[in-house]
Structure 1
Amino acid sequence: MKTIKKLLALTLLISVFASCTKDLNIVPEDDQTTLSEKLFENETAYLEVLAGIYANLSLTGTDGAGSSNIQGLDPGTSQYGRVLLYLQTLSADQMIWSYENDPGTREIQRNIWTAQNPLILGMFSRASVSVAFANNFLRETTTEKLDARNVSAATRADIVNYRAEARLLRALSYYHLMDLFGKAPLVNENDPVVNFNPPQADRQQLFTYIESELTAIEVDLKDPMTNQHGRADKAVAWMILAKMYLNAEVYIGQAKYTEAADYCIKIINGGYTLATNYADLFMADNNTNSAVNEIIFPLISDGIETQNFGPTTVMVNGSVGSIEQNGTPLGVGAGGWGGALRLRREFVQLFDASVFNTDARNTIISGSRDIEIRDISDQDQGYILEKYSNAKSTGGFGSDQTFVDTDFPLFRLADVYLMYAEAHFRGASGTNTDLAFNYINLLRTRANNPQNNLSMSDFSNNNEILNFILDERARELHWEAKRRQDLIRFGKFTGGNYNWAWKGNGSNGISISADLKVYPIPNASLASNPELKQNPGY
């Protein structure tokens, strides 16, 4: 049993004031959202309330996978990891979702979204709920509140760490809002709860706020790899900062590659090691197999305790082909979801060279399929992928044949290796070319790729190396909610210098507007907070 899973399942809504989500004009659906002083008579309640913030990353409500604690939002369009996957991956060149009647998917994967899109609303709202949950926890753990409750010294010592984790989870949500939307309502625990419309913060303001929060709490977070599975530590804070610095030119128009590399080294020195086998990272026991040494922060999944239609459940069931009926070895029903997910041609072609024939990252199934997807509704067109599974590395399968036990690896060491290499070749000072190639070669060696001794002599210029790193990031990190951000950083998401199948709603891809580098603020959010202003182009 994953250590924190039962706690997550039990405390998602216990941890919320009925009013707390009004911080961000989000309406809770459940009526059992009342915190009282009676709850805190038992000092274990503080960890339970903290677990509610974590639970928002996995669950959508307290009454099973089909419940939602956000009024008006379907759980399938508002699960944190799933909507993050859709907005970062389905919008780019790796994935196609067959069932375009599912709300919002057609517009996202064809890059024709509007401010009415329910998946965009789901992401904005779910991240905002995380902020509200964190703010509520921080209000309930002030010195004044703890004094009034006569909280013991031992629990107070723990609460220092708990508060740091709450602030980190709030920063994580603001990081996603900054990246995806470019702006967000900025609110903290000191702001009023009732009759308050949070002011809008732009990317520069959000960047500064997140950076200041993460550096301030570092001392109070647990050291890397010392917290419970599924809980955040210093390395998670460092990872968010490294991501921000790597993308700083996009976010704030300033190059911060040296800072990105510095934080990558801090993470690498935190004791993480690569999983023995690439497949271990995406299996039902990735909380106990060799993946635990590589995964820096997972989004928890469990087929019994935390049933949800999150990213791993979607990707495992969706990877079962309509022709292949390959669900049994993946640990789900034989027919799965019948070809719900398939691969765009451009991603498949990244594995065309013969050196990828034995590469463990190449889990593409072609069979009798056509590489082209001319009709998105035809599940027999396009190759499929078997990256994620509900099988265990030791044999056997997860606890349920629909809802998988596989955690979603939001952050992991392999990404850090590639970030360091990219930062180096983008001009970071104090970095090392040999070390950059060593990190790339370690990943290729782990993947059983025979081309695992790359060096400067294999490339003619820096631009060629950077384009190689972009491709290698796709090969290593595909379907991990990274691709949109990567393409934007490399100047290949909008415009027409790189097109992919169904980009811009053209079967072979067409140019799309630069405005699409950020998503629109949802109309529902604009209506509820007059302080918010729409992004240009929407």
Structure 2
Amino acid sequence: MKLNKLKIILLSFALISTTSCLNELNTEPEYLLTLEQLLESQPNAANGLVAKVYASLSMSSAKGPGEADITGDDKGETVFLRGIINLQDFTADGMKNRWGDNGLDQLTTTAKWTADNKFFRYLFDRVYYTVPQANALIDAFGKVNINNKEQYVSELRFIRAFSYFYMIDCFGKGVIVTEKDLANPVPKGQASRKELFEYVEGELLAIEPTIAKTTEYGHVNRATVQMLLSRLYLNAQVYTGTARWNDAATYAKKVIDEGGYSLDTNYVKMFSADNNTSSEVIFPLIADPIGTQSYGNSTYIINGNTGGSPSTLNPAVLGIKGDGWGGHRATKAWYGLFGNSLTDYNGGSASALAATQDQRGKLFWQTDHQYEMTDYKTWTDGYPSTKFRNLRTTGNSEATDFSGSDFPVFRLAEAYLTYAECAIRGASTANVGQALTYINELRGKRTASQINAGNLTLDFILAERGREFNLEGQRRTDLIRFDKFTGGTYLWPWKGGVKDGTAISANYNVFPIPNTALSANPNLTQNPGY
């Protein structure tokens, strides 16, 4: 079981009893034993306590899928990973959801966003649930003497920085709370996007030299830290106004040269139930059908792409029991990229997709579905994605209620594409010749055609990132970096609530600060336009 890889130990006497994540900003979690007492009396508990903080990224609660650490109408909706898919993929060009309930329409049409949308609140609240848990453990480790303490603290500092990264990316502001604020009851002041960026950068640079180069699967290692640094620098111009292409390329190259990873020849393996054996996955969020049950990890992705009315894609085909949820479908802005153009989805067609040799283009369910998404609320308009599946690529697979396919947060392919993008943008630490080699190596592993130097443009990189990473929680960020998200330069199906797309306002480059957060901390201010 994948549970064994992460060793998530549910120590009932150590479970955190925090009930609100908006009064969380300066509240120390309560325990039946203090963390220091627990760690001193049972040093082996350290791994389980750290694992619980990891689990807060992919589970609604360590108590099980029927519970939630933060307040929500549907406990399964409150999961951090589910929030990333909702806010990064449904708001962008490649994926749409048909349910439309309580704010999902706002996301899938990229229109009429409000500060009362619960899906914005869930991600905001989840960040400020995870961060105090990391802070409390970091503080406790500083007061005890146990083996491997420095590594534990480094992993926790990463999880905290990773959480804050999404405040930078999604909301553009927030509150920086560390272990030093645990006893401070006064709400802290607002940090700007640049201040958050500098804090996250400083944390990652501080732990990079000391964190272990290799760790257990599912734990943060040096390459994971370098990947987040690379992603942070890649988007620095958006976040701070100052481009950091040189730094983004430098850290991508470190991962390529020093990380010990290699591109997987079997693309679908990285999204299957045995993806823990992939040579390419650097850092995953663990999913286990027994030990880490969640309605918000890959279970959400797979169930959402199956079933429907009429039922077209049987969940059992992807290794899941039940009827499926019938909500998610890709648009032609994703599968159209496997057509006759390397850069334009309008060059695609149903027949071109069926004929593609690219492994990535074979992961759509076309039977009984229409190529065009004439109505995003009609299940059969658009193709469900079969990219994620609860099946093993080798040996027997058993259908389960919950998915066992881990979610790959960082893969080596990202380092390749980051390096190539930085080379095109003129980074002195990258060169176009090496970039072309990396791109053709990547496309070769995906059984896609090779390209020449003339094809290596920014438009190609954006399209290739769509082919490679859609449904992995990166697309909105990519479109913003390429200045394609807002405005009318690039239109996609249902952008702005219109079938063929329409221009949207620049304020949509960040989400509104939830009204609940504004009420909880008077130092926070709303983003312009909301």
Does TM-score exceed 0.5, indicating one fold?
Answer: yes
Match of 2:435 in 1: 436
Match of 1:250 in 2: 238
Match of 1:276 in 2: 265
SS at match of 1:320: coil
1:259-338 → structure 2 map (5 Å cutoff): 259-269=247-257, 270-288=259-277, 291=278, 293-322=279-308, 323-333=311-321, 335-337=323-325
1:7, 1:86 → 2: CA distance?
Answer: 28
Displacement of 1:413: 0.4
Match of 2:525 in 1: 533
Select 1:345's aligned residue among 327, 332, 350: 332
For the 8 Å contact 2:23–2:520, the answer to whether it is kept is no
1:429, 1:176 → 2: CA distance?
Answer: 28
1:212-251 → structure 2 map (5 Å cutoff): 212-223=202-213, 226-251=214-239
Displacement of 1:327: 2.3
Displacement of 1:61: 1.5
CA distance 1:467–1:9, change in 2 (3 Å): farther
Displacement of 1:332: 1.4
Q: In the alignment, residue 410 of structure 1 is paired with which amino acid?
A: V
Per-residue CA shift, 1:394-440, capped at 9, x if unaligned? 13225x52210000001100111111100100010032222101111
CA distance 1:361–1:12, change in 2 (3 Å): farther
Greater CA drift, 68-77 or 227-236: 68-77
Displacement of 1:22: 6.8
Displacement of 1:476: 0.9
What count of residue pairs does the alignment treat as equivalent?
A: 512
1:350-429 → structure 2 map (5 Å cutoff): 350-353=337-340, 354=352, 357-362=356-361, 363-398=363-398, 401-429=400-428
Aligned-residue Cα RMSD (Å) equals 2.3
CA distance 1:18–1:466, change in 2 (3 Å): closer
1:255, 1:365 → 2: CA distance?
Answer: 40
1:33, 1:114 → 2: CA distance?
Answer: 39
1:326, 1:506 → 2: CA distance?
Answer: 30
Per-residue CA shift, 1:318-371, capped at 9, x if unaligned? 22254433322211137422x321112222211122597111001122234222
Match of 1:498 in 2: 490
Q: In the alignment, residue 452 of structure 2 is paired with which amino acid?
A: S
Match of 1:202 in 2: 192
CA distance 1:204–1:161, change in 2 (3 Å): same
2:316, 2:81 → 1: CA distance?
Answer: 24
> Where in structure 1 are there 5+ consecutive unaligned residues?
none
1:276, 1:428 → 2: CA distance?
Answer: 29
2:191, 2:14 → 1: CA distance?
Answer: 30
CA distance 1:36–1:418, change in 2 (3 Å): closer
Q: In the alignment, residue 494 of structure 2 is paired with which amino acid?
A: W
1:36, 1:210 → 2: CA distance?
Answer: 25
Select 1:509's aligned residue among 483, 501, 508: 501
CA distance 1:38–1:20, change in 2 (3 Å): farther
2:505, 2:421 → 1: CA distance?
Answer: 26
1:416, 1:358 → 2: CA distance?
Answer: 24
2:289, 2:95 → 1: CA distance?
Answer: 24
1:383, 1:273 → 2: CA distance?
Answer: 30
> Where in structure 2 are there 5+ consecutive unaligned residues?
341-351
Displacement of 1:182: 0.4
2:381, 2:390 → 1: CA distance?
Answer: 24
CA distance 1:31–1:141, change in 2 (3 Å): closer
SS at match of 2:63: coil
Greater CA drift, 503-512 or 404-413: 503-512
Per-residue CA shift, 1:162-209, capped at 9, x if unaligned? 111111111001111101110111111112434221221111101111
1:189, 1:306 → 2: CA distance?
Answer: 27
1:52 correspondence with 2:52: yes
1:150-169 → structure 2 map (5 Å cutoff): 151=145, 155-156=146-147, 158-169=148-159
2:24, 2:234 → 1: CA distance?
Answer: 29
Q: In the alignment, residue 375 of structure 1 is paired with which amino acid?
A: D
1:219, 1:4 → 2: CA distance?
Answer: 28
1:13, 1:235 → 2: CA distance?
Answer: 34
Match of 2:347 in 1: none
1:14, 1:473 → 2: CA distance?
Answer: 42
SS at match of 1:219: coil
1:537, 1:284 → 2: CA distance?
Answer: 43
Displacement of 1:301: 0.5
2:33, 2:329 → 1: CA distance?
Answer: 43
Displacement of 1:98: 1.9
Displacement of 1:214: 0.7
2:33, 2:520 → 1: CA distance?
Answer: 23
SS at match of 1:358: coil
1:488 correspondence with 2:480: yes
1:528, 1:421 → 2: CA distance?
Answer: 43
SS at match of 2:283: strand
Displacement of 1:250: 0.5
Displacement of 1:9: 5.6
For the 8 Å contact 1:22–1:194, the answer to whether it is kept is no
1:536, 1:33 → 2: CA distance?
Answer: 43
SS at match of 2:10: helix
For the 8 Å contact 2:187–2:521, the answer to whether it is kept is yes
1:282, 1:349 → 2: CA distance?
Answer: 21
Greater CA drift, 349-358 or 81-90: 349-358
Q: In the alignment, residue 78 of structure 1 is paired with which amino acid?
A: T
When normalised by structure 2's length, the TM-score is: 0.91
When normalised by structure 1's length, the TM-score is: 0.90
SS at match of 2:329: strand
For the 8 Å contact 1:9–1:305, the answer to whether it is kept is no
For the 8 Å contact 1:20–1:136, the answer to whether it is kept is no
For the 8 Å contact 2:134–2:156, the answer to whether it is kept is yes
1:26, 1:276 → 2: CA distance?
Answer: 47
CA distance 1:428–1:33, change in 2 (3 Å): farther
Greater CA drift, 359-368 or 433-442: 359-368
2:13, 2:166 → 1: CA distance?
Answer: 22
Percent identity of paired positions between Structure 1 and Structure 2:
38
Q: In the alignment, residue 517 of structure 1 is paired with which amino acid?
A: N
For the 8 Å contact 2:333–2:492, the answer to whether it is kept is yes
